Chains A and B, each alone.
Chain A
């Protein structure tokens, strides 16, 4: 068979055990390779989108805005401005004469209409090319309207999603430090890098509340402009995810001296560790906090374990493949699968760093395929080679799994199931169980177990003449 891996991409794939660890990453996607990745704009949109009381205006032709309209599962407990799709819908004459005037008018009318607490203006590829001065327009509107109007330098072609994260963090950092922090508790955190998919942030907030910790700002799930403005008053930043908001945390550490803890809320260990790390951090200020946290974890686990065991019975020994946006999520997923008795045989991400992949190589079993920025050809080949039972990914990965007769769990920004926290672990296990144990795989051509005869399977091209035994 023809090799499916592009020569240029060989260094972006590592097989654990076969050779010493080495992987290249953070490269531009290969032309013609049908990458699963989007663009810089996508990165910033993902991060900033859930700030629900801000206006998110996409400056560019219509597509960039249309395809990002309310596709995420980020929920808000209040305003829902983020779920609308605003665009300057650039036309030919704007491209020729420049779109600054149109952008200005668009901002004014939208701000007047929706009264947002801030506006983010995303730059797209075209804007980068025609050279509109986003900064100048934003500054002008900010002066006219008296709300922060912040340009997001997210021209799609200027790199990959990671650059978009940075652009988003830079945009948000302009807000931080502009609000009043006088009433904030000494036991306080900001939640960074969580997008409140299916209300996950509310689960985490509940845990923190039970521990006696105040949440100053959600950045960015269920986010509010006013909270981001006073985020510098928190005692600690909790950063989840591979790095979508790590840059912001670093900026806040530098300027305001706020320490950072990296966390993950997926799976039992990582969720518990996250809470214990917070408790440890505040131990000096509140000696009781550790006891409260231990109680909380114990309570949650007591409820969770028996349920997990029933799923585990059916899942023991099954194989999983993971391809997600950020590599950090993959660590938690590997551990979560272990709780279900399952082995991860392939793991990859769109935006992992060398460090991320090295760590993945350390915690996975021999033979595991580790891959950066992949494509459908490779994914389908890996799934077949490893004969996996479940694939974890996003919408673009789903049909690949299903076409191969493999179960699938949706674990990206579009999911509508909460997968964080102890409750999330239960939901995850339930979903994995539902898909892996479905009877449909008994019938799909590639994996069917029973020797059933299928009409048409002879591949005969002759038309049926009706002269069967009955005639």
Chain B
């Protein structure tokens, strides 16, 4: 067996860089233009990457630092860039994330923004947009760290301490698909709970065809709703691998006493149950009948299909919280996760995986964090998986090379259509994933078969 050696270099990374996550999160705030403080290339590359997944415009401004600025500091470019974005986009909010470059040259963004506000308030006729900043050196984590840090920054920097108590719930749903966000909104609405979801890019990154081009697409979490978060009755935060210092929910809990419910991403039966139980408590009623039915249908399907999936072995990769949720779900339906891999390095992955696989018989899966696809592929050799579950990046070396199906979930998906509409969450999301998996296995069997049964 080829052993996955501790290589110094990275081959085919299983992660993206920090500011990309921040830009995604900022895109979920109403009227917010993401702005990268750095040289032009980073912003353009990330735009390109995100556009290919969502097939939507994704404007990320850049302070476009040149050589001189890299030496003397990027302040002038940042100020100028902000003025340009504010002037042309009329953005009510700008989300500023640093890049490796500006972190390394040591630009002090909070101070620059302070000066910007002072200097330009009059020239902007008192219309100073909300300027939210987050420090995102890419060498300090993956895109998930950037995502969480940006959500936390939005909460910490916008929250209004004076806000009155209200009955709303804050929901930090993490890096999920627009369809997931829409589904969560429905669930809360059916419970009669008014929720503030942050970020909400369900419309900004999956917008309708409209009469005119929108410089800033509609949708997103309203700024006022974020300001009012300290008054909420509770916060729910998805993610078993979010460290307290990156948690938006923890800020609200620690500074404003908003109770925090930390849950896993609700993928599969048990993790969804945990969400619905929490919602029942918060709403003071039992779940609406439609969800009892959805749960029932999921279970019914799990029974109907269990022999197709029984004993199959899967490799799961992607963001840490996503793989924890997927591992939980696959274990429930009788697929054996043999390798759970992520490029993230929170240090919490193994524990989180153990928590969701512990109750099932058999060996626990190998858990690898901080890995790249070279290492995943090397491990795969001996594990002989029947399928892989993750983003498009595992297609060539992992799935195609072994002639096994890839179930595309997460980000990026750029070799299939409709990635915005992949539903992962809740009973309905689990059912969607279940159908995808069972059908992929049936298709594989059918295609490999010399007989080619047309009736299965």
Contact = CB atoms under 8 A, between A and B. Distances in A.
Contacts of A60: 100
Interface stretch (B44-52, B245-253, B269-277, B299-307): B44-52
The listed residue with most A CB atoms (<10 A of its CB), out of B70, B77, B82, is B70
B209 interface: yes
B40 interface: yes
A42 B44 contact: yes
B140 interface: yes
B230 interface: no
Interface in A1-47: 2, 4, 6, 28-42
B45 A6 contact: no
User: Chain A interface secondary structure, helix, strand, loop or mixed?
Assistant: loop
A376 B40 contact: no
B63 A399 contact: no
A70 to B, nearest CB: 8
Contacts of B332: none
A89 B9 CA distance: 7
Contacts of A65: 10, 13
Interface stretch (B179-187, B210-218, B443-451): B210-218
A305 interface: no
Given A94-B139, A384-B213, A106 B61 contact: no
Contact of B139 (A29, A92, A110): A92
B82 A445 contact: no
Contacts of B67: 155, 157-159
B12 A85 contact: yes
B211 A445 contact: yes
Interface string A152-173: 0001111110000000000000
A91 B139 contact: yes
B104 A126 contact: yes
Contacts of A445: 209-211
Given A62-B17, A105-B8, A126-B101, A36 B44 contact: yes
A260 interface: no
Nearest to A384: B213
Given A30-B64, A396-B44, A57 B9 contact: yes
A102 interface: yes
B161 interface: no
Contacts of B69: 157
B16 interface: yes
B282 to A, nearest CB: 25
Given A31-B63, A31-B84, A157-B101, A62 B47 contact: no
Contacts of B66: 28, 157-159
A405 B78 contact: no
Contacts of A88: 8-10
A95 B139 contact: yes
Contact of A32 (B20, B80, B142, B214): B80
B422 interface: no
Contacts of B61: 31-34
Contacts of B163: none
Interface string B134-161: 0001111010000000000000000000
A35 B40 contact: yes
A41 B38 CA distance: 14
B139 A396 contact: no
B8 A32 contact: no
A82 to B, nearest CB: 13
Given A31-B78, A32-B63, A35-B62, 14 more contacts: A31-B80, A32-B80, A32-B83, A34-B62, A37-B44, A62-B16, A62-B17, A64-B41, A66-B17, A69-B12, A88-B8, A125-B100, A157-B40, A404-B213
7 contacts: A31-B62, A33-B81, A34-B61, A85-B11, A128-B70, A403-B209, A444-B209
